[in-house]
Amino acid sequence: MTDVQIIEKILSGKTELFELLVVKYQQQLFSTLINITKDYNLAEEFVQEAFVKAFEKLDMLKNKEHFYAWIKRIAINNALMYFDRNKRVVDMEKEDDESSDSFFERLSDYSNPEEELLTEEMKRYVRKFVDALPDKLRTVILLREVEDYSYEEIAEMLNIPIGTVRSRLFNARQFIKQRLIRQGLADEVSKVS
């Protein structure tokens, strides 16, 4: 059954079928939110809230084929509103989870042990600097670099203009670049930008 078929049946009264959507998308949504929140419990909470809101407002979904993008936008917006309210202090020493490793692994194309050491050090700093970004910048860079969404998809998901996506990505990359320069890793910046 497609998402559209499931949603139509839910709207016609078979509400128990909503569980199919939860099972289908829960892990994907959690993976995105753990990258944004860096907190297992918060990520789990935002996923649950998103599904509750989606269930309550399912009749308002205009394009049923885009259920996942819609619920992802709900979850990310919940997280951003939470952080705006609480002005979260970033823990610079917190270790990253493995789900964002692919972005950082792309930084490594070393050919000797010295380059490997330098690259590993740079990856460690980039992770810290991404964590230190303001929530709106961190969300955009994670959606682009880790989740591999296009500018258009990010704009739609966050309900912001594409120009704002570009601006936030530029600002995030500049923040990271400046921090790498301060750490003496400026020669490696081209691999990040």
- Looking at this protein, which amino acid is placed at residue 62? K
Q: Which residues have CB under 8 Å from 14's CB, separation 6+? A: none
Give the C-alpha separation, 183 to 166, whole Å: 26
Quick: pLDDT tens for 50-90.
999 999 999 998 888 889 988 988 888 888 778 777 654 44
Say whether pLDDT at 151 is over 70.
yes
Say whether pLDDT at 45 is over 70.
yes
C-alpha radius of gyration, the chain, whole number: 19
Percent of the chain beyond pLDDT 70? 74
State the chain's mean pLDDT as an integer: 78
Backbone phi and psi for residue 48, each to the nearest 5 degrees, phi listed first = -60, -45
The model's confidence at residue 2, banded by pLDDT at 50, 70 and 90, is very high
Of 147, 153, 71, nearest to 102 by C-alpha is: 147
Query: What average pLDDT does the segment 98-114 reach?
Result: 50
Percent of the chain beyond pLDDT 90? 29
Say whether pLDDT at 92 is over 50.
no
Backbone phi and psi for residue 71, each to the nearest 5 degrees, phi listed first = -70, -30
Tokens of 171: 């600002």
What pLDDT was estimated at residue 94? 41
What pLDDT was estimated at residue 144? 87
What pLDDT was estimated at residue 121? 65
Domains in the chain, start-ordered, CATH in brackets?
Answer: 3-86 (1.10.1740.10), 98-191 (1.10.10.10)
The model's confidence at residue 165, banded by pLDDT at 50, 70 and 90, is very high
Give the C-alpha separation, 164 to 140, whole Å: 10
Of 33, 182, 193, nearest to 106 by C-alpha is: 193
Of 166, 45, 22, nearest to 158 by C-alpha is: 166
Quick: pLDDT tens for 152-164.
888 888 888 999 9
What pLDDT was estimated at residue 86? 66
The residue ranking higher by pLDDT, 160 or 93, is: 160
Give the C-alpha separation, 131 to 66, whole Å: 29
Q: Is 7 exposed, middle or buried (0-12, 13-18, 19+ CB in 10 A)?
A: buried
Quick: pLDDT tens for 5-33.
999 999 999 999 999 999 999 999 998 88
Query: What average pLDDT does the segment 133-145 reach?
Result: 86
